[in-house]
Amino acid sequence: MLPRRRDRNPKLFFLLISVCLGSAAAVDSFAANTFDGVYNGTQRTIFTNNSALCARIATDTVLQIRNNHFTRQWGIANLSVDVAADGSFEAKQFVGGGRATGDPRVVRIAGQITDSNLEADIGGTRCAVHLSLKKS
């Protein structure tokens, strides 16, 4: 008969199990907070200065998010946008100030993704739209 080992520590065993379960929960939590996908819907005009640059801005639109990130163009601005774990996002870019680009101004996008709905405003001092998109 072999001698019985007494070096097993039940507290250590439960600690290891807790760490493993906690790691699995963290992975599931991260996966649950991903907003990746294709969002379709409309953008409607909030305001406009009636210039040619702001003509026909109310339209259907598609936005694709990959790795909780997307890029959105607004005129000469390319907004690089990261979506936070709570679904909020915001980005700004300074544009203009040259002969071909007009007066200096800030173009901004800010919004929130809740469930499968994306709501956001994008624009500058010349015109802006509200996005209402649904994940497909």
Domains along the chain with CATH numbers: 37-135 (2.40.128)
Pair 81, 109: CB distance under 8 Å:
yes
For residue 120, pLDDT over 80 is answered with yes
To the nearest 10°, the Cα dihedral for 39, 45, 46, 47?
Answer: 150
State how far Cα 49 lies from the chain centre: 28
Q: What is the pLDDT of residue 104?
A: 83
CA–CA separation, 11 and 84 (whole Å): 37
pLDDT above 90: percentage of residues in the chain: 63
For residue 57, pLDDT over 50 is answered with yes
Q: What is the pLDDT of residue 96?
A: 80
For residue 30, pLDDT over 80 is answered with no
Burial (CB < 10 A; 0-12, 13-18, 19+), residue 123, is buried
State how far Cα 120 lies from the chain centre: 10
Pair 107, 79: CB distance under 8 Å:
yes
Q: What is the pLDDT of residue 80?
A: 98
CA–CA separation, 118 and 1 (whole Å): 68
Q: What is the pLDDT of residue 101?
A: 62
Q: What is the pLDDT of residue 53?
A: 84
